[in-house]
Amino acid sequence: MMQDQTTDFGFKRVSSGDKARRVAEVFSSVAPRYDLMNDLMSFGLHRWWKRFAVHVSGARPGQKVLDVAGGTGDMAALFHERVGPDGLVILADINSDMLDAGRSKLHDRGVVHGAGYVQANAEKLPFRENFFDCVSIAFGLRNVTEKPAALRSMHAALKYGGALVILEFSHVVLPLLRRIYDAWSFRMIPRLGGLFAQDEASYRYLVESIRMHPDQETLKGMLEDAGFARVDYYNLSGGIVAVHKACKI
């Protein structure tokens, strides 16, 4: 009898079929305090990281952008500023609680026209091929069960000449910073999650999932294997996060 394949869920190994359920439980739990915790965990730096990623994307007025795993809508709002009233930004997320939070926040900001919301799995995006000028995924790829499948799906959704931008926690390249970052991550972030989100376990998973995510060069190779070209990356904050940009040609 063939055994189920396993994958990482933080530092644990779980069946591939079970990871999506567990990740869904994590994000349904953290959705109400997600923005607050992002500010606390990153000292507000996540706002600058996101703006840099949108700048690197090269998105222009009138273009169509897909924000995969768009969560509470920060990236979608920034892209909406870039593409303007004649453009289109689709916020897609597999988790309905996160999608609802993103829709509410964008509506509160007055983003009504030129925005759409789709509950979708990154591994099987339900969009026409060669449709979007830009696809982004910020702090979501590490939670995907089959990352190569998600990269291929995003490649299919892009127009030829379009760009994929991935903003994700990565591997710190400065030894001293790595020690400080590890101490902060493992000792303090779960405590903050328990204090402000009443969920220490979910934030322990989020910290562990960062360590299990492919490093910068490995992810670059995965993008090339998925059919992307002109793959490059930018280390931000000493490699705490990295922005990968890849083109479909």
Query: Over the stretch 90-119, which tens digit does the pLDDT of each residue have?
Result: 999 999 999 999 999 999 999 989 999 999
For residue 69, tell me if it sits in a domain. Answer: yes
For residue 1, tell me if it sits in a domain. Answer: no
For residue 95, tell me if it sits in a domain. Answer: yes
pLDDT of residue 3: 47
Give the pLDDT band of residue 121 (cuts 50, 70, 90). Answer: very high
pLDDT of residue 112: 84
Separation of alpha carbons 38 and 47, rounded Å? 9
For residue 2, tell me if it sits in a domain. Answer: no
**Which residue range forms the structural domain that includes residue 156?**
23-173+204-247
pLDDT of residue 71: 93
Closest listed residue to residue 53, CA positions, set 121, 115, 135:
135
Task: Provide the domain count of the chain.
Answer: 1
Place of tokens 């969560």: 71
pLDDT at 4 over 60: no
Give the pLDDT band of residue 5 (cuts 50, 70, 90). Answer: confident
For residue 186, tell me if it sits in a domain. Answer: no
Q: What is the mean pLDDT of the chain?
A: 95
List Cβ<8 Å contacts ≥24 apart for 237-241: 237/45, 237/49, 238/172, 238/173, 238/174, 238/177, 239/170, 239/171, 239/172, 239/173, 239/174, 239/177, 240/169, 240/170, 240/172, 240/177, 240/181, 241/49, 241/167, 241/168, 241/169, 241/170
- Stretch 62-87: mean pLDDT, rounded? 96
Look up the CATH number of the domain holding residue 225: 3.40.50.150
For residue 211, tell me if it sits in a domain. Answer: yes
Q: Residues 123-140: pLDDT tens digits?
A: 999 999 999 999 999 999
Q: Which residues pair with 9 in a beta bridge?
A: 12
The rounded percent of the chain whose pLDDT value lies above 90 is 90
Angle CA(119)–CA(120)–CA(126) in degrees, nearest 5? 120
- Stretch 29-45: mean pLDDT, rounded? 94
